[in-house]
Every structure is written in structure tokens, then in C-alpha cells.
């Protein structure tokens, strides 16, 4: 189903009219960010959190610049990094140290990845890429390019890049109300970058979260996070059901639930996220305000 466009004749007669479709779309738009924050908070209630802080840095930059500006995003990441955060993955830390040392944003993640022997594929970039999907709700042109560029600031591995492409593509379709095709389109877009990501999405979509392995030595592996998140997206009856199912699997619960929460929030909308969860989120007011600003800009 295409994104809704109201009859221009009606809008001329009633310039302040708001349709039900627009109300629901905006709910899904805001729900994407609140869903990510709620998922992370539930997955790590006693830990310092990084996903939403990095999401906010990305979102602030997009709202201010009205596009993705990787150099500006990188400066936002560095401002957060200057506070010496403890809850930060090794690859993210290495990439931000490269940025701080003067490496360009387009190279910081590549250098960090090379230093691991091109082996590290953590979930540090997919946990905060949701704003890219929102930026492209009106037009999917460029979503893969922007998702790739944002991921490569910290996570250069094709599996990380493909995962960001998949999640942002799915979010854009879900917010537009195109839930029936979101998973297929996400898998296809990811496959252009990484066959491994496409396979992880297809596995997740065909199984329930209870059937998936997410813990062990590969805890924090981006493909585990993506597989579990898409499993929850396809199988969950509502937002709460999906997030609880993800957290119950263990593993990297905060990041897994953050990514799943973003997808589920984009599908079900803000109104379907339990208020008892949203009310406890310190970042909720700013996330909502920035989301509404971005929605008006599109």
C-alpha cells in the first residue's frame, strides 16, 4: 500500500484538516523512537545505556541539517564519547578513538575494522540507525546509501552495514503502513550488501524468538540481533509481546530489544507501547520532540 496522500482539493477547503491515516502514520513515526528506547531500557534496567544516546546524536544532526551529514553526526558521537561512557562496545570505542585522533568519519570505522582482522561484526551501529529510516519515510531513494554511510562511521563490516540497511528499510515501509512487504523489502535491500544479513532476516521471519540462539560466544553479533528482531516483528501480536519475547531469550538483551523495539514501534505505533514503560524514559520528551520536528520537515 502506497503512503497516503490526501486529496489536495480537500486540503484547500480545510487547510488544517488531519486525516486518520496521518494520525496513525505519525504515531508509527514517533513510536519507532520510543519503541527503541523502551526496548533498550527494559533489556538493561540496571546498566548505563548507549543506544539511545547515539540515536539522539544521529537524530539531532538529521533534524538540524535536514539530511544525513556524517561529519556532523561524528561530532555528535564525539561529544557523547567525551563523557567517558562505560557501556560501549570495543569496535565503537576504537572507531571513536580514531575520530578523536583526527581520522575522517568516512574512514574511522574502516580502520577499526581492519585492526580486528576484518572479523568484528558487532551490533553497535544497527542499534542506533532508526532515524535514517524515518528520514526516508516519504522517499526510499537513498535510504541504503545513508544507512551504509552512518554505519561505517563505527561499523564497517558488510554484515553491520547490511543490517543497518535492512532495519532502516523496514522502518520506512512500516511507518508508511506497508507492513506486508516490509520484511521482504528489507531482506532484498540487505542482500545487495550482504548475503549473510539476508539469510538472517529470512531465518528470523520463519521462526519464533523461542527457537533462536542468541547467547554464548557470539553474544552481541549483529546477525543474532537482526535475526531475533525480525522474528519478533513477524510473530508478535503486539509491542509488549514482541519485546518481552526478545528479552526472555537472554544474550545482549538491551541492544536486541532496542532494535526489535524500533521495528515493533514502527509497526504498532506510539499508542501501542505501554505507557508504564514510556513514562519512565528520561529521553522520551526529547525523542518525541525531535521526531515531531523531523516529521514536519519531510
- When pLDDT is averaged across residues 118-143 and rounded to a whole number, the result is 96
Residue 220, sorted as left (phi over 0), alpha (psi -120 to 50) or beta, turns out to be left
Would you say 261 and 38 are in contact if contact means Cβ atoms under 8 Å apart? yes
Whether this prediction's pTM lies above 0.95 is answered by no
Q: What is the pLDDT of residues 23-73, one digit of tens each?
A: 999 999 999 999 999 999 999 865 556 889 999 999 999 999 999 999 999
For residue 2, what pLDDT is reported? 47
Confidence class for position 234, pLDDT limits 50, 70, 90: very high
For residue 19, what pLDDT is reported? 86
Q: Which one, of 225, 233, 237, 238, lies nearest residue 277 by Cα?
A: 238
Q: Cα separation of 109 and 94, whole Å?
A: 8
- When pLDDT is averaged across residues 132-155 and rounded to a whole number, the result is 98
Q: Using the 8-state DSSP alphabet, how is residue 46 labeled?
A: T
Cα distances (Å, whole numbers) of residue 277 to 44, 53, 161, 289: 13, 18, 30, 18
Q: What is the pLDDT of residues 201-227, one digit of tens each?
A: 999 999 999 999 876 666 789 999 999
What is the b/e burial string over 152-163, where b = at least 16 CB atoms within 10 angstroms of the residue's CB?
bbbbbbbbbbbb
For residue 87, what pLDDT is reported? 77
Amino acid at each position: 500500500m502506497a503512503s497516503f496522500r490526501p486529496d489536495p482539493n480537500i486540503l484547500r477547503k480545510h487547510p488544517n484538516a488531519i486525516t486518520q491515516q496521518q494520525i496513525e502514520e505519525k504515531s508509527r513515526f514517533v513510536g519507532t523512537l520510543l519503541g527503541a528506547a523502551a526496548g533498550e531500557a527494559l533489556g538493561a534496567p540496571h546498566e548505563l545505556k548507549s543506544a539511545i544516546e547515539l540515536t539522539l546524536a544521529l537524530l539531532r544532526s538529521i533534524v538540524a541539517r535536514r539530511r544525513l551529514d556524517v561529519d556532523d553526526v561524528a561530532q555528535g558521537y564525539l561529544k557523547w564519547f567525551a563523557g567517558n561512557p562505560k557501556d560501549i562496545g570495543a569496535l565503537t570505542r576504537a572507531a571513536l578513538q580514531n575520530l578523536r585522533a583526527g581520522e575522517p568519519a568516512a574512514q574511522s570505522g574502516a580502520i577499526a575494522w581492519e585492526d580486528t582482522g576484518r572479523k568484528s561484526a558487532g551490533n553497535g551501529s544497527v542499534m542506533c540507525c532508526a532515524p535514517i529510516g524515518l528520514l526516508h519515510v516519504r522517499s526510499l531513494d537513498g535510504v541504503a546509501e545513508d544507512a551504509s554511510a552512518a554505519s561505517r562511521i563505527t561499523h564497517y563490516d558488510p554484515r553491520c552495514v547490511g543490517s543497518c540497511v535492512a532495519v532502516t528499510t523496514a522502518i520506512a515501509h512500516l511507518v508508511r503502513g506497508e507492513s506486508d512487504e516490509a520484511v521482504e523489502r528489507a531482506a532484498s535491500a540487505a542482500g545487495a550488501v550482504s548475503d549473510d544479513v539476508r539469510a538472517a532476516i529470512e531465518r528470523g521471519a520463519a521462526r519464533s524468538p523461542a527457537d533462536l540462539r542468541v547467547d554464548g560466544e557470539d553474544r552481541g553479533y549483529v546477525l543474532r540481533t537482526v535475526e531475533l528482531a525480525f522474528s519478533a516483528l513477524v510473530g508478535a501480536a503486539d509491542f509488549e509481546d514482541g519485546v518481552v519475547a526478545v528479552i526472555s531469550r537472554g544474550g545482549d538483551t538491551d541492544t536486541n530489544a532496542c532494535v526489535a523495539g524500533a521495528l515493533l514501534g514502527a509497526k504498532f505505533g506510539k499508542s501501542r507501547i505501554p505507557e508504564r514503560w514510556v513514562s519512565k524514559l528520561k529521553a522520551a520528551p526529547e525523542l518525541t520532540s525531535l521526531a515531531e520536528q523531523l516529521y514536519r520537515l519531510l
